Structure 1
Amino acid sequence: MEYIPESRQQLILCCECGTAIPPNPANMCVNCVRSIVDITEGIPKQATVHWCKNCERYLQPPATWLACDLESRELLALCLKKLRGLVKVRLIDAGFVWTEPHSRRIKIKLTIQKEVFAATILQQAFEVEYVVASMMCPDCTKVMAQNMWKAMVQVRQKVDHQRTFFYLEQLILKHNAHQDTINIKEVKGGLDFHFAQRSHAIKMCDFLASMVPTRAKTSEQLISSDIHNGTSNYKFTYSVEIIPICRDDLVVVPKKTANSLGQIAPLTLCTRVGNVLHLIDFRTLQTTSVTGFAYWRSEDITPVCSMRDLKEFYVLDVELLGPRHGRYALADITVQRMADVGRNDCEFIVRSHLGNLLAYGDSVLGYDLDSANINNANFEALRHEDVPSIVLVKKSYSERRRKRKNRNWRLKTLDKDDGELAPKKQDKEKLEADFETFLRDLEEDPELRQNINLYKDAEAAQRARSAIGDNDDDMADSDDGEDAPEVPLEELLEDLKIDDEDDEEMDM
């Protein structure tokens, strides 16, 4: 029996070149159709995109500047909008072709379709090359020119230390609130933030008010005016004042204000400063919160002692009384001035909120009100029984115990301009001491660390271990008791560093 093959598809000859092809409405092969019709006609194969080398943003005409990463969807959309002929064809696919990062060239491969004859659709792929031209954006132009800022935020606090500004600096870095600043200037008593737009300055004021109790005042200065069209150019200045009460300050509250705050005692301690002020009665563990509006309305809540007035005491006995509030416990603590240890038997029994944090042999920092020189009308109006001899504030750790702990973390800082401020040697030493106190507060208070990004620093830990050297065993033998607090490793973040030298080696 003879095998009969299956019927094959019928072929026709191309009307141009005579090649056998399947039937199609044009009766031509693909190569002949492409030679006759170019569907990419009208689409430019080269274009130019403008890029600001200062802020690394791209220009989207007519006047919008966008921050786009290389080979990102945003940059692809910006490049496609530069091709006007795409509206006449159907875009099937678009993607980047790799180019050298320093070549200032961007290549995109496009796949398009278009109906060339009746019921005949042609698909074609081609590349478009973009030249990245440097062009300074208006915002960076104002930065380069002198006195071209539009609005300024002056942040001040009437205290004799910089701990609050160290804390604010970390909050600004974590929330990236400084991205719109054109300059940050460090001045005596605070910081100045310069902005190119007034809305950015208002946004910074709102951010500061959400973090700490503040009040702001606004002023404006006329720079120029056009009488023909009735327009004027102003510079705006926002003066932001932070509440002059800090953590661990001894605060006196007038009787009338204390009654409105829940009948709290007139003498309290400040335990934390957030968007409200947290106060605690160290003799009853009663707590209250003071908003910025309530403080600025009367301004009669004043600090009488700050961290500069802290004295060291030696704990002789701790008798817990039972009541607790969070991490605090009420107790009667017997202490002696550190200067009197071994010299006399002058002891004090102090009612304090640090009952569960102290034990026999510990050191504690507090305010010695018997020897303090306090010039405050509200404090002088207090009754004698309302003023204790000593107010304990927080546990103290010796320097040798702290050195045993290798500080394997670090903080980022803002890029600030000192301007005309030239700190003296004494001011630098004071600033370093305030920063060290802030770092110790971070180690001791987990709640304070929650709002701050801490980064791993293996090099600092190695330097600390090298500095201790052979004296580590001697310090361990000389110090007994609980070690100084440290930041757990799981709370630290990895910091990615990209050096220019590494980039050059990779390019080679």
Structure 2
Amino acid sequence: MAEDACMFMVHQTIGSVLCCKCGIPMAPNAANMCVKCLRSEVDITEGLQKHVIIIHCPECDTYLQPPRTWIKAQLESKELLTFCVKRLKNLNKVRLVHAEFLWTEPHSKRIKVKLRVQKEVLNGAILEQAYTVEYVVHEQMCESCSRVQANPDQWVAAVQLRQHVSHRRTFFYLEQLILRHDAAVRAIRIKQMEQGVDFFFANRSHGVKFVEFLGKVVPIRSRHDKQLVSHDIKSNNYNYKYTFSVEICPICREDLICLPSKVAVSLGNLGPLVICTKVSNNIALLDPFTLRHCFLDADQYWRTSFKSLLSSRQLVEYIVLDMEALSSEVNVGGLKYVLADAQVARVSDFGKNDTIFSVRTHLGHLLNPGDYALGYDLYGANSNDIELEKYKGFVLPDAILIKKSYEEKRQRKRGKPRAWKLKSLNMEVDDSAKGGRVDEEKMESEYEKFLRDLEENPELRLNISLYHNKEYQPSEVASTMTDGEEGPTVPLEELLADLDLSDVEAEEDTMRE
């Protein structure tokens, strides 16, 4: 039966009609006209804008969305395409199907967008048509940029960032975070002060947003004040200048801390001697004798603030004579540690005495006999810490090891450029600070230590952008050295290419030739 039904199936055919205008055969439609005749009769783009003027600020690269909103967008980006389409009037009379940019000269001050629209015409027939809209770009500075150009010191909000410590390692790290996230892109001026950095903004909201960013990357506390600049009695308008005072927690990575008794009890009798292993929006503390750890957020720290017993500038170099592991590898806050007993001696004691210290350390996975380590010399240190004196009967260890030292391996590479580099903020230096100009040698030394920390600590490089150094040329001596003799370096796969517009233009010229 099924086969018989298939034999008697009638295939449906679609008939054709003649166009009422030109008479050619075509598929039937509601208007009985071919596409060419239909387009000649009806123009669905009639009444739509073909030429539009847009305002662009060359300083901050933004476009004016009337009446007063400025939108940041790059050329041929999705944001700019959306902005251009929204500027068209009467576009709701048709249905937008597709929109794309047409290529124009970068300096022509013209932006062309090709639109494809549909509309129902003549008895329900749907007609689709493409047309081009030309946008003429007029340059005009926005209000904030014009105010800055008139007077660069005319700021509305200032963020005063401070940290009361004897080094600038935190600011070097924070500078790279700001560059990576473009957090200070709205700053009209950046000034380096004696114990911090000042950021100046043309808008209060930009200052508030920057303070919020700081609170997400470092533990801070802040307060804000405002000062009346002018008052228009007739229109009842007030102009204020806003100042945000931001203080960064004085605890830094690798600091040795003696916890106050109340804090130690609240943390489950941790310590009292602990090491700060990481600082982000919270503080990671580790007991190097038990591998117990905890995390303090900004609110917890500022409720019962404390200071460091010893900082990284007081590290002493030791040589490891013997090492005996006591536990297996433990993962603490994303970092691996092994508890071990070690015998160490100060490098400065060689040839003078035979003093050997037996200490317990959390670096059993890194150190081997013969290695060098940096630690705090509590045997010879004179610490007048009030919190430490409250722990009666507590016996201080002779030394606390903090990290492995690669100073001996770096001696042969000293003075040579690295294969990578960092970018920096465009900062002014305050010459009126106490003591005159900031000591350049001290700054260079601290910056070199920061670069070494980046080489030694892969976790510290996670939130930082490192770029290829074009001036670097590997030497033949370095290429013949084995991996065991080489100090810590940054892998090439972590480096980014630093784009230079002059290089791109030169490459385009060579391609044209």
Contact 2:263 2:304 in 1 (8 A): no
Q: Does 1:415 align with 2:421?
A: no
Query: Could you say which residue in structure 2 is the equivalent of 1:182?
Result: 188
What are the Cα deviations for residues 364-397 of structure 1, in whole angstroms up to 9, with x where unaligned? 1122223324343223444464222222221111
Displacement after TM superposition at 1:159 (Å): 0.7
State which drifts further: 42-51 or 497-506: 497-506
SS in 2 for 1:459: coil
Displacement after TM superposition at 1:50 (Å): 1.2
Q: Alpha carbons of 1:21 and 1:376: their partners in 2 closer, same or farther (altered >3 Å)? A: same
Displacement after TM superposition at 1:37 (Å): 6.7
Contact 2:421 2:469 in 1 (8 A): no
Displacement after TM superposition at 1:400 (Å): 3.4
**Letter of the 1:133 counterpart:** H
Contact 2:49 2:133 in 1 (8 A): yes
Query: Could you say which residue in structure 2 is the equivalent of 1:4?
Result: none
Work out the CA distance in 1 between the residues paired with 2:34 and 2:484. 91
Displacement after TM superposition at 1:452 (Å): 2.5
CA RMSD of aligned residues (A): 3.6
Work out the CA distance in 2 between the residues paired with 1:80 and 1:434. 52
Work out the CA distance in 2 between the residues paired with 1:438 and 1:352. 24
Query: Could you say which residue in structure 2 is the equivalent of 1:203?
Result: 209
Q: Alpha carbons of 1:28 and 1:392: their partners in 2 closer, same or farther (altered >3 Å)? A: closer
Q: Alpha carbons of 1:82 and 1:317: their partners in 2 closer, same or farther (altered >3 Å)? A: closer
Q: Does 1:129 align with 2:134?
A: yes
Contact 2:194 2:430 in 1 (8 A): no
Q: Alpha carbons of 1:290 and 1:37: their partners in 2 closer, same or farther (altered >3 Å)? A: closer
Query: Could you say which residue in structure 1 is the equivalent of 2:453?
Result: 441
Q: Alpha carbons of 1:128 and 1:238: their partners in 2 closer, same or farther (altered >3 Å)? A: same
Match of 1:452 among 464, 475, 483: 464
Displacement after TM superposition at 1:158 (Å): 0.5
- Match runs of 1:413-492 below 5 Å: 413-418=424-429, 420=431, 427-455=439-467, 457=468, 459-462=470-473, 465-466=474-475, 483-490=486-493, 492=494
State which drifts further: 236-245 or 183-192: 183-192
Displacement after TM superposition at 1:321 (Å): 2.9
Q: Alpha carbons of 1:182 and 1:30: their partners in 2 closer, same or farther (altered >3 Å)? A: same
What are the Cα deviations for residues 415-439 of structure 1, in whole angstroms up to 9, with x where unaligned? 3333556997872221121122122
Query: Could you say which residue in structure 1 is the equivalent of 2:504?
Result: 502
Query: Could you say which residue in structure 1 is the equivalent of 2:147?
Result: 142
TM-score by length of 2: 0.83
- Match runs of 1:20-35 below 5 Å: 20=23
Query: Could you say which residue in structure 1 is the equivalent of 2:102?
Result: 97
Q: Alpha carbons of 1:28 and 1:241: their partners in 2 closer, same or farther (altered >3 Å)? A: closer
Match of 1:359 among 368, 392, 396: 368
Query: Could you say which residue in structure 2 is the equivalent of 1:164?
Result: 170
SS in 2 for 1:400: helix
Q: Alpha carbons of 1:35 and 1:453: their partners in 2 closer, same or farther (altered >3 Å)? A: closer
SS in 2 for 1:386: coil
Contact 1:188 1:421 in 2 (8 A): no
Match of 1:331 among 333, 340, 361: 340
Contact 1:262 1:288 in 2 (8 A): no
Displacement after TM superposition at 1:164 (Å): 0.6
Contact 2:378 2:397 in 1 (8 A): yes
Contact 2:257 2:276 in 1 (8 A): yes
Contact 2:217 2:281 in 1 (8 A): yes
Displacement after TM superposition at 1:483 (Å): 4.0
Gaps of 5+ in 1: 1-7
Contact 1:115 1:122 in 2 (8 A): yes
Work out the CA distance in 2 between the residues paired with 1:319 and 1:33. 91
Q: Alpha carbons of 1:348 and 1:230: their partners in 2 closer, same or farther (altered >3 Å)? A: same
SS in 1 for 2:388: helix
Contact 2:329 2:365 in 1 (8 A): no
Match of 1:321 among 316, 319, 326: 326
Query: Could you say which residue in structure 2 is the equivalent of 1:5?
Result: none
Q: Alpha carbons of 1:330 and 1:119: their partners in 2 closer, same or farther (altered >3 Å)? A: closer
Query: Could you say which residue in structure 2 is the equivalent of 1:308?
Result: 313
What are the Cα deviations for residues 320-341 of structure 1, in whole angstroms up to 9, with x where unaligned? 3336543222222222221221
Displacement after TM superposition at 1:306 (Å): 1.1
Contact 2:112 2:135 in 1 (8 A): yes
Q: Alpha carbons of 1:322 and 1:417: their partners in 2 closer, same or farther (altered >3 Å)? A: same
**Letter of the 1:494 counterpart:** L
Match of 1:368 among 377, 385, 392: 377
- Match runs of 1:284-299 below 5 Å: 284-299=290-305
Contact 1:186 1:421 in 2 (8 A): no
Q: Does 1:345 align with 2:354?
A: yes
Query: Could you say which residue in structure 2 is the equivalent of 1:51?
Result: 56
Work out the CA distance in 1 between the residues paired with 2:68 and 2:490. 48
SS in 1 for 2:172: helix
Q: Alpha carbons of 1:371 and 1:134: their partners in 2 closer, same or farther (altered >3 Å)? A: same
**Letter of the 1:338 counterpart:** V
Work out the CA distance in 1 between the residues paired with 2:124 and 2:130. 20
Contact 2:344 2:356 in 1 (8 A): yes
**Letter of the 2:359 counterpart:** V
State which drifts further: 136-145 or 307-316: 136-145
**Letter of the 1:415 counterpart:** N
**Letter of the 1:214 counterpart:** I
Displacement after TM superposition at 1:53 (Å): 0.9
SS in 2 for 1:322: coil
Fraction of identical pairs, as percent: 48
Query: Could you say which residue in structure 2 is the equivalent of 1:79?
Result: 84
Contact 2:112 2:133 in 1 (8 A): yes
**Letter of the 1:106 counterpart:** I
Q: Alpha carbons of 1:363 and 1:133: their partners in 2 closer, same or farther (altered >3 Å)? A: same
Displacement after TM superposition at 1:242 (Å): 0.8
**Letter of the 2:427 counterpart:** K
Contact 1:187 1:421 in 2 (8 A): no
Q: Alpha carbons of 1:311 and 1:92: their partners in 2 closer, same or farther (altered >3 Å)? A: closer
What are the Cα deviations for residues 104-127 of structure 1, in whole angstroms up to 9, with x where unaligned? 112233445667766677765443
SS in 2 for 1:240: strand
Residues paired across the two proteins, number: 488
SS in 2 for 1:84: coil
**Letter of the 1:372 counterpart:** A
Contact 2:318 2:373 in 1 (8 A): yes
Work out the CA distance in 1 between the residues paired with 2:174 and 2:90. 51
